[in-house]
Amino acid sequence: MAEAGKIHSPPAGRQKERSDQRLNVIGTRMLRKEDPRFLTGRGRFIDDIALPHMAHAAALRSPHAHARIKSIEKTAAQALPGVIAVITGEDAAKETGPLPCFANPPVEQRCIALGKVRHVGEPVVLVVADTRYIAEDAIGLIKVDYEPLPAVSDMMDAINSRGDAVLHPERGPDNVAEHRNYVFGPVEAEFAQAAHVIKRHLRWSRSGGQPIETCGAVASFDEGSEKFTIYVNSSMYNYIGFTIAAALKVGSHQVNLIPVDAGGSFGSKLFLHKVAVLAALGARATGQPVKYIEDRIDNITACDGHGSDRTYDVELAIDADHKMTALRYKVVDDYGAYFQFGLGTHGNGFSQTVGPYKIRAVGAEIYAVFTNKCQQGACRGFGSEVTNFMIERIVDAAVDELGLDPIKFRRDNFIAPEEFPYQIPTGNLYDSGNYPGALDMALQMLDYDGWREKQNAARTQGRYVGIGVASCQEKGVFSATEFWMLNRAPGFALTSSPESASIKIDATGKAIISLHAPCWGNSPETVATMVLAEQLGLDPADINVAYSDTDHGLPGTGPGGSRYTVMITGAVTGACAILKEKLKRVASHMLEAGPHDLEFRNGKIGVKGASGLEVSIAEVATQSHFFRLSFPDDPDLTSGLDANYTYDHPLATLPKSDSDFGIFYPIMGHMCHMPVVEVDAKTGQVSFLDYVAVHDCGTMINPMTVDGHVRGGTAQGIGTALLEHYQYDKDGQPLNINFTDYVMPRIGNLPPQVRIGHLVTPSPYTEYGVKGAGEGGRMVAPPAIACAIEDALRPLGVRIDTLPVTPSRLRALIREAEAKKGIR
């Protein structure tokens, strides 16, 4: 059992670069390295890849949510001019195995459905043709005979499914993928002696990242070397890319995965397997390169990337002094038809399951169920955005029921600034923070008291204006343990989640950084350049960034879980330590001084205290590359100037037991959002009058890009709160399969301005004290907005328990509340 509280002998950590040093490049709003190519239309996205004799694939999508495939009639399709191959699930299974699954026991998913379809949109036949147009024509000629099976769409029904309604009978008699119970600390005892117990039933509907670019791959198979080359807009290729080779039933050295620019991901491209395997099997079957790009319907119905879909029954125990003591919840999560990441999205939530509060016990009962829908993947927050919603909603419920002040109640329960590093009941550690400071900054920026006055004035005019507050955590830098520790049996219990950087300085002093994970729009080239420029004093204009394929790749977990900036900063710092040692060594001979008497200054290496005695890095590089015989004959001094460094997770420990998960996600950012909304009570439309977002992501490498993430994440959070919902009917038919009906925010839906405040509590564990910032906006905006809407409608007593709060739903709640109050 992990006791909640300040850790008195905190782990030492491996930080080399302190956060309180004077910095020249880090912390500036350097313009992005990525932009020139994107601004001129010269990005390299997956559909921009064109190989000679490349063919195009399209998938026949299942029209049924659940059915047996009885027969497939493909002769007409095969005969259509321009069609090269028509591949069924049975054809594919001859040479291709199941897709990767990280749950244990795994759930079998095929890239082309084999024997059975489990959701609308699942690929049933892959057609390869000269053009995508012809491939789609051919699909229209294929006749599939299905035997429909009962479809389950409601997550509660799934728990009780039997017989033919069971999606994976080999797993059990029902559609329960997992059912786990966790007790962290003295939950029962705390509830038994609580002065107050607050309860809520909450519903977080399924939404998703929905980037503007879909998923896709271009694959070729070289018969001569028996090797696949696959371009794919996925991440994690240098981490678990070998599982794609396994699906193709070849050795991992027989697949080279090549990254491309990704047009947004928000988690949904974290690890793409289906599109890569489909393109590759098409290439193997036809002997030509094959491009498979999802169209928007493919993507919405079958991207393997939907977000959490949960129902909560949550209880909060509060003592007589209005201190929160324990939290207990039962959650049912609808994972859809497959289970690629197991219960990872709940493991994620355990990293910050008490929010910023001193809750000392947590009990969780988790149901993961299968339904006939697209499966969940990773979606900005990876499940913790829902945990945040749960916590802040129950906090607001306590405020409401006990007549408390929402600001004071939070403040009185915060973990105090002097209590870090802080251990939470699950065993995870919060590295640093100042939650009252963030709250105060938000209050001040918003002019909270001023808005309360305006609210009162608005109420007298019959207007519904509300102020919301949410104080939430943003975990950063996941460790691999979050994925497997909730499995029934640990399975492959990996413990590494590193990131690498390779830096070479060529003979003219120019630097190339190779990254081992792709660009999602998260500014990796800019961050890596800035850290290298800071470390060595190089001019950013003399630095370029390249991306390694798997043939040349080092271990790279990639972006996700708000980790990439922290990890690449660590990797570049580590590589620079190696480079600096060599630079000093070579320079010491050139300057005839001891290496300890040298310092780096303005892109040069010079003797301390002697301003004239210095050489440029370019000069050292030239010597290093070409003039070996000018230096001593030491066997460990080699020509060249380059370094690879693999930076492991800065602070992770093994899980100890089912009630102590060890340290697995300790780099803890924090946000406080305060939206001001106005509700048109007659139409249920919500508009924003003001919005303050205070974010603590520790030291910021580039405040401009941090602000970009805050605004973008907040916009997605607004979408999740008010607009976005993948809807399925009771037969498992998806109702919004295009952008007309899956409603994402336009500028008109957003506040006129998101006013951003930065609070900085550096991490003691990461280089320069950086923390993650990518997910934060989406992790706090939904509860902040729900709170604001409730506050606006307080005179009517409307409760917001379900997201999204669409106009239709909100108007129904208002009508109900007015009826109760006898208002016409």
Partner 1 sequence: MSELEVNVTVNGRPFRRRIEPRLLLSDFIRHEIGLTGTHVGCENGVCGACTVLLDGLSTRSCCTLAVQADGRSVETVESLGRVSNLSPLQRGFWEKHGLQCGYCTPGMLMLMTELLRENPNPDRETIRLRLNDNICRCTGYEDIVSSVECAVELMRGDKVVR
Partner 2 sequence: MKPPVFEYERPPNLRAALDALSKHGGKAKLLAGGHSLIPQLNLRQLSPGRLIDVGRLTELQYIIEEYGQLRIGALTTHNTILRSPAVAAGCPIMVEAYAHVANHSIRNRGTLGGNLCHNDPAFEMPLVVSLLGASMVARSARSTRTITAERFFKAPFATDLAADEMLVEVRVPKLPAGHGYCFLEVSQRYGDRALIAGGCLLTIRYGNCRDVRIGFRDAVHNAFRIPAAEAALEGKPATAAAIDAAAEAVAKNITAAADLHADEAYRRDVAATLTQRMLRIACGRAGQAIAA
Six-digit token string for 519: 């660009």
CA distance 403 to 822: 24
Min CB(522)–partner 1 separation in Å: 7
687: β partners: 678
Nearer to partner 2, 42 or 682 (CB): 682
- Per partner kind, with CB cut-offs from 5 to 8 A, the member of partner 2, partner 1, none near residue 808 is partner 2
Q: What is the dihedral of CA 551, 556, 557, 562, to 10 degrees?
A: -140
Nearer to partner 1, 216 or 344 (CB): 216
- Per partner kind, with CB cut-offs from 5 to 8 A, the member of partner 1, partner 2, none near residue 807 is partner 2
Amino acid at 815: R
Footprint of partner 1 (CB under 8 A): 31-32, 34-43, 45, 47-48, 50, 133, 209-213, 261-266, 295-296, 519-523, 704-705, 707-709, 711-716, 738-740, 744, 746-748, 750, 753-754, 777
- Per partner kind, with CB cut-offs from 5 to 8 A, the member of partner 2, partner 1, none near residue 523 is partner 1
Min CB(301)–partner 2 separation in Å: 12
Min CB(580)–partner 1 separation in Å: 30
- Per partner kind, with CB cut-offs from 5 to 8 A, the member of partner 2, partner 1, none near residue 225 is none
Q: What is the DSSP letter of 184?
A: E
- Per partner kind, with CB cut-offs from 5 to 8 A, the member of partner 1, partner 2, none near residue 5 is none
Nearer to partner 1, 61 or 393 (CB): 61
Rounded (10°) angle between helices 406-413 and 435-446: 160
Amino acid at 711: R
- Per partner kind, with CB cut-offs from 5 to 8 A, the member of partner 2, partner 1, none near residue 754 is partner 1
Nearer to partner 2, 449 or 816 (CB): 816
- Per partner kind, with CB cut-offs from 5 to 8 A, the member of partner 1, partner 2, none near residue 330 is none
Strands 227-232, 216-222: pairing is antiparallel
For residues 545 and 515, is the Cβ–Cβ distance under 8 A? yes
Amino acid at 65: A
Amino acid at 367: Y
Min CB(748)–partner 1 separation in Å: 5
Min CB(111)–partner 2 separation in Å: 21
Helix (H, G, I), strand (E, B) or coil at 132: helix
Min CB(295)–partner 2 separation in Å: 5
- Per partner kind, with CB cut-offs from 5 to 8 A, the member of partner 2, partner 1, none near residue 406 is none
For residues 204 and 389, is the Cβ–Cβ distance under 8 A? yes
Write out the DSSP string of 589-601. Answer: HHHTS-GGGEEEE
CA distance 444 to 437: 11
Residue keyed to tokens 């030491």: 634
Min CB(527)–partner 1 separation in Å: 13
Rounded (10°) angle between helices 617-626 and 564-591: 80
Footprint of partner 2 (CB under 8 A): 132-133, 136-137, 140, 295-297, 682-685, 722-723, 727, 735-736, 738, 740-741, 743, 745-746, 748-749, 806-808, 811-812, 815
Six-digit token string for 424: 């939470």
Min CB(521)–partner 1 separation in Å: 3
Nearer to partner 1, 362 or 519 (CB): 519
- Per partner kind, with CB cut-offs from 5 to 8 A, the member of partner 2, partner 1, none near residue 753 is partner 1
- Per partner kind, with CB cut-offs from 5 to 8 A, the member of partner 1, partner 2, none near residue 684 is partner 2
Q: How far, CA to CA in Å, does 566 sit from each of 28, 118, 544, 669?
A: 17, 39, 20, 12
Nearer to partner 2, 160 or 683 (CB): 683
Min CB(805)–partner 2 separation in Å: 11
Rounded (10°) angle between helices 703-722 and 776-792: 50
Nearer to partner 2, 407 or 750 (CB): 750
For residues 207 and 374, is the Cβ–Cβ distance under 8 A? no
- Per partner kind, with CB cut-offs from 5 to 8 A, the member of partner 2, partner 1, none near residue 21 is none
Q: How many CB atoms lie within 10 A of CB 121?
A: 24
Write out the DSSP string of 308-351. Answer: --EEEEEEEEE-TTS-EEEEEEEEEEE-TT--TTTTHHHHHHHT
Min CB(682)–partner 2 separation in Å: 4
Helices (H), 592-702: 617-626
Helix (H, G, I), strand (E, B) or coil at 746: coil
- Per partner kind, with CB cut-offs from 5 to 8 A, the member of partner 2, partner 1, none near residue 151 is none
Nearer to partner 1, 523 or 573 (CB): 523
Nearer to partner 2, 127 or 480 (CB): 127
Sign of CA dihedral 569, 574, 577, 578: negative
Min CB(740)–partner 2 separation in Å: 7
Nearer to partner 1, 202 or 677 (CB): 677
- Per partner kind, with CB cut-offs from 5 to 8 A, the member of partner 2, partner 1, none near residue 140 is partner 2
Residues 6+ apart with CB under 8 A from 66: 116, 117, 118, 119, 148, 149, 150, 151, 152, 165, 167, 372, 732
Nearer to partner 1, 559 or 606 (CB): 559
**H or E element in which residue 769 lies:** none
For residues 556 and 499, is the Cβ–Cβ distance under 8 A? yes
- Per partner kind, with CB cut-offs from 5 to 8 A, the member of partner 2, partner 1, none near residue 261 is partner 1
Nearer to partner 1, 213 or 333 (CB): 213
For residues 579 and 532, is the Cβ–Cβ distance under 8 A? no
Q: How far, CA to CA in Å, does 303 sit from each of 215, 244, 269, 407?
A: 7, 16, 9, 41
Min CB(750)–partner 1 separation in Å: 6
Residues 6+ apart with CB under 8 A from 379: 207, 208, 209, 266, 267, 268, 305, 306, 307, 308
- Rounded to 5 degrees, what angle do the CA atoms 290, 293, 299 make? 150
Min CB(723)–partner 2 separation in Å: 6
Nearer to partner 2, 78 or 749 (CB): 749
Rounded (10°) angle between helices 524-536 and 564-591: 30
Six-digit token string for 740: 């007309």
196: β partners: 318
Min CB(743)–partner 2 separation in Å: 5
Nearer to partner 2, 138 or 331 (CB): 138
- Per partner kind, with CB cut-offs from 5 to 8 A, the member of partner 2, partner 1, none near residue 711 is partner 1
CA distance 555 to 539: 28
Nearer to partner 1, 32 or 171 (CB): 32
For residues 127 and 367, is the Cβ–Cβ distance under 8 A? no
- Per partner kind, with CB cut-offs from 5 to 8 A, the member of partner 2, partner 1, none near residue 790 is none
Min CB(389)–partner 2 separation in Å: 21
Nearer to partner 2, 368 or 718 (CB): 718
CA distance 441 to 407: 12
Nearer to partner 1, 364 or 706 (CB): 706
- Per partner kind, with CB cut-offs from 5 to 8 A, the member of partner 2, partner 1, none near residue 36 is partner 1
Six-digit token string for 579: 């480079």
Q: How far, CA to CA in Å, does 333 sit from each of 103, 435, 730?
A: 15, 30, 17
Min CB(87)–partner 2 separation in Å: 20
Min CB(126)–partner 1 separation in Å: 20
